[in-house]
Amino acid sequence: MRAGVFPDYEAMSAAAADVVARRLGEEHSSVLMLPTGITPLGMYRQLVEMHNSRGLSFADATFFNLDEYIGLAPDHRASYHVYMKENFYGLIDADPARVFVPDGTAPDPEAECERYEAVIRGTGGVDVCVLGIGRNGHIGFNEPGAPFDSRTRVVELSESTRKVNAADFEADRAPERAITVGMATIFEAREVMLLASGTNKAGAVAAAVEGDASESVPASMLKSHPHASLFLDEDAASGLGRGIAG
């Protein structure tokens, strides 16, 4: 796992956007798996800017979201459907037929997970998976303890994650469950990019980079990925003893 440490959030976001744009330039029909959260907003802004200013096209790409809350309609303001539409998919030339977000209102969530996993498989696999990281080391909604061989499935969210995400919800009540792409599905992506910004991620980043790979720190799974890179600002890297992990 390689780590790039950038002076600030904007520089980190620009570097991540450059990698995604380069991959798309090499292969227009790339399959991208994308996160939500505050962290990737700068990267999305940069990619939208590249689309507007120099015609970077996403028209042939396929997009998968990593996760969605169970019980939220696609038009709920805190849903990841709305987040992605407002921050990315709605601002570029993505083909709606190739944009996939798990359906949090599916009557049979387990069946929805199997369907989602099958659609991913049907594309021939993910070329680039971009991740954020939770303060407890979660990736997607794979909370600590998520089996490394897990697939897209229904998960219970930890109290700490629900607390962090509570502000997005009325009465500060975040949903208890979500659909998340599984650990093995993430690991199979040909390239994985994990973005982290801010001191509140420094502990999780250090645990992922410097500890042994362990299911108690989901992001540590990436240590054995053949093509995984961390994009960190200095604050997120501040817990790393050596600064740059090799």
Residue with tokens 């987040």: 83
Strand locations in the chain (E): 2-6, 31-34, 62-65, 67-69, 99-100, 128-131, 153-156, 177-180, 191-196, 228-233
Among 3, 5, 12, 35, binds ligand GLP (CB under 6 A): 35
Using CB under 6 A as the binding rule, the residues of this chain from 152 to 171 that contact ligand GLP are 161, 165
> Between 35 and 182, whose beta carbon lies closer to ligand GLP?
35
- Our CB check for ligand GLP shows the closer of 34 and 56 to be 34
Identity of the residue numbered 230: L
Angle between helices 41-54 and 9-26 (to 10 degrees): 50
Nearer to ligand GLP, 62 or 79 (CB): 79
What's the closest the beta carbon of residue 38 comes to ligand GLP, in angstroms? Answer: 4
Backbone angles phi, psi at 239, to 5 degrees: -90, 0
Cβ within 8 Å of residue 220, ≥6 positions away? 137, 207, 208, 209, 211, 212, 213, 214
Q: Is 143 a catalytic site residue?
A: yes
Of 39, 150, 152, 185, which lies in the binding site for ligand GLP, with binding defined by CB under 6 A?
Answer: 39
42 binds ligand GLP (CB under 6 A): no
The least distance separating ligand GLP from the CB of residue 66, rounded to whole angstroms, comes to 5
Kindly state the number of chain residues that form the binding site for ligand GLP, as judged by CB under 6 A: 14
Angle at 66 between CA 61 and CA 70, to 5 degrees: 130
Active-site positions read 67, 136, 138, 143
Q: Please give the residue ranges that form the binding site for ligand GLP (CB under 6 A).
A: 35-39, 66-67, 132-134, 140-141, 161, 165
